[in-house]
Structure formats: C-alpha cells, structure tokens
Amino acid sequence: MKYLLILPVLLIVFLHSGAAEAKHPVVRPGAASAGNANDTHYMAPVRQWTGKKFVFLPKQKIVKAFGYGLYLTPELDRSKSPVNPAMETKERRIRCDAFYQGSLTVREVKPSGSEYLVHFFHEPTSASLFAKTHRGAIEGLALAGDLEKAKQRWLGKTVYSMRRFINMYDSITGNVSTQKVKISDPLRVVEIRWGTTPLPSRPLWLMVETAPAQGARGFIPVCISWANSMFDKITSGKPWDEDILEQDPKKLYSWDKVYWDAIDNHSIVSGMTKPQVCMSWGAPKTVRKDTTMAGHREFWSFDDGQELLFVGDSLVSN
C-alpha cells in the first residue's frame, strides 16, 4: 500500500499548454538507464527461442491436478485423438507427474495471430510438446540457464528489498505470508531455487536471512532475465530492479532523514525528487508532460490511480 504524506506548499497557478499522455521510461536509482531498457543481455523474446532450453517450475499441490499449459499435439486442446490418461489431463494439458523432470528444448517457433505456437522436445520422454503463448509467455516454464546466472550473481551476497518485505512459504498448506523489513535492512542470500507456480510470477526465489537480531528467513521472488515474461510486465531497467537493490541505498544516496523515513514507510512527501519517489513507490505507469510559463511539469500516474505533480525534478502535489 502506498501512503501519501504531502506537506503544505504554496502552489503556483500554471497556464496549461495541451499535454499529451504517454508512457515514458522512468528509471529508479540503481536501475539501468532508459536507453538500456531493452538490453539484449536481459531480453529473450519468443521469436528467438529456437534452440533454447527451458525447465518446468514446480507446481503447488492445489494446482498440480490441472497440469501444465502444454499439449501433445499442435492442435492443443482441440486435438481429435483419444485422451492419453497417463500423459494428459481430461482438458488435454500435460500431466505434472509425467513431465516435470528434465528439460525442454525449443524446436520451432511459429507466429499464431498476435501470439506464437512453440514446439518443444522433452528429452526424458522424447515427446514433442506444444504451447501457445499468452501475452508473449507460457505459464510454468523458466529459461534453464537463469538459475545458474542467479547463483553466480547473488548467492552469498547481501541484497535489500525494494518491496519492504520478504515472503515465507508453507510447503504443506501452500500459504504465503510476509515479514516486514526496511529498505536498508541487509538480507543475506543463502540459497537460490526455482519458485513454485502459479505464485509468484517471478521464477527465481532468493532465500534470504535477516540480521541475527531479527532472526527471520524467507524469500524474495525475482527475474534475472525477461525470458518468458509477459510483454506488458517488461519494464525499463534490469528485471530485478523493482524487487531488490544490490547495494545499501542509504550509503549510495545521502538524502535527508525526512525522505528516508517516508521511503521506509512506502510513502511520499512534497519536495521529493523523482528518484526518491521511484525508490518509495516504484516507476509510474504513465507520465504526462507539459510546459507552462512557470517551467516544465510532469504528472505521474500509478496503477492504483494516484497521480503526482512534479515541477522540474521536485514533487509538488497530487
């Protein structure tokens, strides 16, 4: 939840000059520059999947019966052949217990309307499997090499939660709870594993420990690449920018205490700069810009409907 703590300020009466609304990349502190938003190091669009290997993400117990969203024929759930109960559910999705092990190699990718039909080869069973993307992604799969990349980058390191909490997962009930932390609380990464699906959408779980005084252990779900991410979820910067920082933010940025107190509470105060607002609330969904006699101003809109006004780089009002 975002909190709004705008302090009283003297507002100037502006003359509006026909603003046009658009999505502008707004990059928070520590993120890649907007010019590198689609850095090929992090991108793996579906049309370039041929030859790449994927793995099945583990399913939560309550959804295992539904299987994975892959099928034995390119007709998907419209196949006319008899259902094979050893390999398919009655909806023709492949069964989890039959295909969870081993990797999938992409044999072919074909356009299918605005989406893609992907042909996989499942190595343990030598079966051909097929899936159609939904908004550019296939639920339940992850790029095989991402786990090792994540271990090389974060295992044994300290990270900081941009979301101000860590998750706890009960493998028996499937329930996910949270433990509140501050953005400057160091979290040591002690293990990295594939997360369960369908929750959360980020496939990697950084298993972290808080300082001994807090004594908590949980996980932070992250992406290390945009592979198999829905196209409308891909943002400016690195794939983990909205989830973790890799350096202590209070050592990186010598901001006044009033702003850090607001950031720790996931709130904002007038006078904040754009990077400070991004640190607290994340990047906006849309930015509307205009120019008046008083100078440049921007209106930032967020997913929850809140809108902020900046004059220059300073937050003025909502």
Please write the tens of the pLDDT for every residue from 42-78. 888 999 999 999 999 999 888 899 999 999 999 999 9
Q: What is the pTM of this model?
A: 0.82
Name the band, by pLDDT with cuts 50, 70 and 90, for residue 14.
Answer: very low
Average pLDDT over residues 211-239: 88
What are the residue ranges spanned by the domains of the chain?
A: 3-29+253-317, 34-40+145-249, 46-143
pLDDT for the residue numbered 20: 39
Cβ partners under 8 Å of residue 172, min gap 6: none
Average pLDDT over residues 285-312: 87
Say which residue, 17 or 270, is predicted with more confidence. 270
Token pair for residue 141?
């799969």
Burial class (CB in 10 A: 0-12, 13-18, 19+), 156: exposed
Burial class (CB in 10 A: 0-12, 13-18, 19+), 283: buried
pLDDT for the residue numbered 6: 47
Average pLDDT value for the chain = 85
pLDDT for the residue numbered 18: 37
Identify the weakest region by mean pLDDT among 28-42, 44-58, 191-205.
Answer: 28-42
Q: Are 166 and 181 in contact (CB under 8 A)?
A: yes
The DSSP result for 25-55, as a single string, is ----TTSPPGGGTT-TTT---GGG-TT-EEE
Lookup result for tokens 């007038």: 270
Average pLDDT over residues 81-86: 95
Name the band, by pLDDT with cuts 50, 70 and 90, for residue 16.
Answer: very low
Where is mean pLDDT largest: 151-155, 265-269, 286-290?
Answer: 151-155
Q: Are 130 and 120 in contact (CB under 8 A)?
A: yes
Where is mean pLDDT largest: 126-130, 179-183, 295-299?
Answer: 126-130
Token pair for residue 3?
């909190």
pLDDT for the residue numbered 294: 67
DSSP state at residue 6: P
